[in-house]
Amino acid sequence: MTQPERPTPARRAVLGAAGAAVLGGSTVLAAGTAQAVQSAVAPDAVPRQSAKGHGHGHGHHGLPVPTVIGHRGASGYRPEHTLGSYQLALDLGADIVEQDLVPTKDGHLVCRHENEIGGTTDVADHPEFASRRTTKTVDGVALTGWFTEDFTLAELKTLRAKERIPATRQENTLYDGRWAVPTFEEVLRWAEQEGRRRGRPVWLYVETKHPSYFRALGLGLEERVARLLRRYGRHRADSAVFLQSFEPSSIQRLARLVDTPGVVLLSAAGTRPWDFVEAGDPRTVTDLVKPAGLRWIASYAQGIGPTIDLILPRTADGRLGTETTLVRDAHAQGLILHPYTQRNENAFLPAEYRRGTDPNAYGDAFGALKRFFETGIDGIFSDNADTALLAAADFRDR
């Protein structure tokens, strides 16, 4: 069965550019429709909001509120963590583009959501690497596949990226094999080039993945990240970068190395960050989202990135339940909130915003985003930046 036809990013860009005129954006629809929507809803084309001016929300160094973060680039439309995905997110108008970092055997930082790359590259099609398939325990979870720390950068560069969830995003498989796995340094160079071309900084959102695991292997991430940030002048408090990690100790370590803003990612209530597990710290995410936990986070970080369920828990039938006090409590400590992750497909939406029975079809993403923004969050990670940008523009215009 094929997926039902749905609008392409370019088609949505046309609709977005036409509707964005109320914001003072461009009303001219050029041939490059993605560029048109980027002109219509890019940060320089919308008013900067603040907690005082909007009633809630905290802008960071001029970023619009709500801020739209391209989750792994434009992963709703291109294989994640490729230069093609990053470029499309930027062209669609994303305020920030996200990278996840893992190391190679020879210590280079590359952009992958996980160090296991069997699902995001064509490594299984390379007989020369068949013997490297193995089982490892990463943060307490046994995984079988191929791992970046077992490849040199030169070897990794012989692989090609592919769509991670092809059953859900069949259209993205068109781009399988088109791009290699990028290094973080290549992304920094790309951001510099795009910044010069656009006349404004390109914001990056950089995550250290499994930092305790890699430190135990002698491949500590934080020092390598800091070295590259300094090399490219992105180590200051006003740099166009956020650093993020699910391990608070990684953000603490980065805070000692650079002044770049840090964000602590928070998984489901009741879970424990892996560095807490290793250190014997009994606290859970439930503890960290209480005022005392948030106060502790604010002592070394500038924000939190909670799963949206910590703000709007879901009921047993998958609908949105009663809103928690997390947004209010975090703002009281001066923390920004960038929750994750908004996706357009029914399978990822709260039950009341699903449309039809096909889990891969698009539901009422605009309705869901409106509800998310009403909580007062400062931004959101989105696989579909164009959708989130239009929803953010609607919300600001309200």
Q: What is the chain's pLDDT, residue by residue, as a tens digit (398 residues)?
A: 444 444 444 434 433 333 333 233 332 223 333 333 333 333 333 333 333 333 344 457 789 999 999 999 999 999 999 999 999 999 999 999 999 999 999 999 999 999 999 999 999 999 999 999 999 999 999 999 999 999 999 999 999 999 999 999 999 999 999 999 999 999 999 999 999 999 999 999 999 999 999 999 999 999 999 999 999 999 999 999 999 999 999 999 999 999 999 999 999 999 999 999 999 999 999 999 999 999 999 999 999 999 999 999 999 999 999 999 999 999 999 999 999 999 999 999 999 999 999 999 999 999 999 999 999 999 999 999 999 999 999 999 98
Distance, CA of 183 to CA of 187 (rounded, Å): 7
3 state SS of 198: helix
3 state SS of 244: strand
pTM: 0.86
Q: What is the pLDDT of residue 8?
A: 46
3 state SS of 398: coil
Contact between 185 and 206 under an 8 Å Cβ cutoff? The reply is: no
CA–CA distances in Å: residue 96 to residues 42, 88, 203, 264, 335 = 11, 12, 5, 17, 18
3 state SS of 84: helix
Sign of CA dihedral 76, 134, 184, 230: positive
Q: Where are the alpha helices (DSSP H) in 127-262?
A: 153-156, 184-198, 211-216, 221-231, 248-257
Q: Of 383, 393, 333, 308, give the one whose Cα is nearest residue 64.
A: 393
Q: What is the pLDDT of residue 53?
A: 32
Distance, CA of 142 to CA of 326 (rounded, Å): 33
> How many Cβ atoms sit within 10 Å of the Cβ of residue 24?
11
Q: What is the pLDDT of residue 10?
A: 41
222-229: Cβ within 8 A, 24+ apart: 222/250, 222/253, 222/254, 222/257, 223/257, 224/103, 224/107, 224/109, 225/101, 225/109, 225/184, 225/254, 226/254, 226/257, 226/258, 228/109, 228/184, 228/185, 228/188, 229/258, 229/260
Contact between 67 and 54 under an 8 Å Cβ cutoff? The reply is: no
Q: What is the pLDDT of residue 59?
A: 53
CA–CA distances in Å: residue 164 to residues 107, 237, 370, 371 = 24, 34, 28, 28
Q: What is the pLDDT of residue 41?
A: 36
Distance, CA of 152 to CA of 256 (rounded, Å): 29
Q: What is the pLDDT of residue 313?
A: 98
Q: What is the pLDDT of residue 30?
A: 32
Contact between 350 and 59 under an 8 Å Cβ cutoff? The reply is: no
pLDDT per position as a tens digit, 159-206: 999 999 999 999 999 999 999 999 999 999 999 999 999 999 999 999
Query: What one-letter code names the amino acid at 63?
Result: L
Residues 6+ apart with CB under 8 A from 295: 333
Distance, CA of 247 to CA of 6 (rounded, Å): 38
Structure tokens at 199: 């006349």
Q: What is the pLDDT of residue 62?
A: 86
Sign of CA dihedral 135, 137, 142, 148: negative
